[in-house]
Structure formats: structure tokens, C-alpha cells
Amino acid sequence: MAATPDLHSATREDILTALRSEAFAYARSMLFAAAARRNGSAETADLFEATARTKLEEHFAILADLAGIVGDDADNLRAAIEAESFEVEVMYPTFAEHAARAADAAAAETFAEIRRHGIDNLEALREALIDIT
């Protein structure tokens, strides 16, 4: 991730928090739009999709630029590999373990399944990095 050198560390953390919030709001709005379409509410679906576009194409994009999130292809692949590796090696195994201990079997299996998909993504990212370097 290409950091913008003139940002205070607290400001950078605030930007990253805002990015996570905007990304979640985008995804949630898209899911809401899909549900509204299934329910026959095209106008409501359009509203959720417009909201989602604003979250992604305006808010997220501006904040990502401010934080220097996007670099060249190799840097972007390295950042994606780092994030995917954390999910595969630490986050989802830990979450699956927590859910299993809490007897939340469906959540444990969901975390394990997402981890399996992440392994495939990680391999594809690594191959892409090899291809361009």
C-alpha cells in the first residue's frame, strides 16, 4: 500500500476506518438492492444501487486516493496477497475455532468455506505476481 507521507497516523487510521465503513455500506446496499428486486420493488432497488455507487465510486475512491491505497500492479498484488494471507492463515481459522467452541456450527463451517475460497484466491494472486515480475 502506497502511504501518503503527509498524513498524521491518527488521520490515516480514521481514513482506514472510514474506508471499511464505506465498503460495508456499499456491500450492504447491494444486498439490499438484490432483495428489493426479488421482492418486486424496482424503485427501492434502484435507490439502493445508486447509494452503493456513491459509496464506492465517490466516497471510497476519494478516501482511497487520499490514503494512497492503489499503487502499480505489482504493489497492488503484493497488498492483496498480504491481506488474503492474513485471512487464510489467521483470521478465518481463528473465527472458525471461536465459532466451533461456541457451538455455532453453521458459522464455523461458513468461516472454513470462505477460507477455502481464500486459498484459491491467494494462489491466483501469487501466480499473477509471478507473471508480471
pLDDT value at residue 25: 98
pLDDT value at residue 121: 98
**Long-range Cβ pairs for the range 61-68 (8 Å, 24+):** 63/15, 63/18, 63/19, 63/22, 64/19, 66/4, 66/7, 66/15, 67/1, 67/3, 67/4, 67/7, 67/12, 67/15, 67/16, 67/19, 68/1, 68/2, 68/3, 68/4
* Average pLDDT of span 54-58: 97
Helix axes 42-53, 9-38, angle to 10 degrees: 160
Q: What is the pLDDT of residues 24-42, one digit of tens each?
A: 999 999 999 999 999 999 9
| Structure confidence at residue 6 as a pLDDT band (50, 70, 90) | confident
- Tell me the average pLDDT of the chain: 96
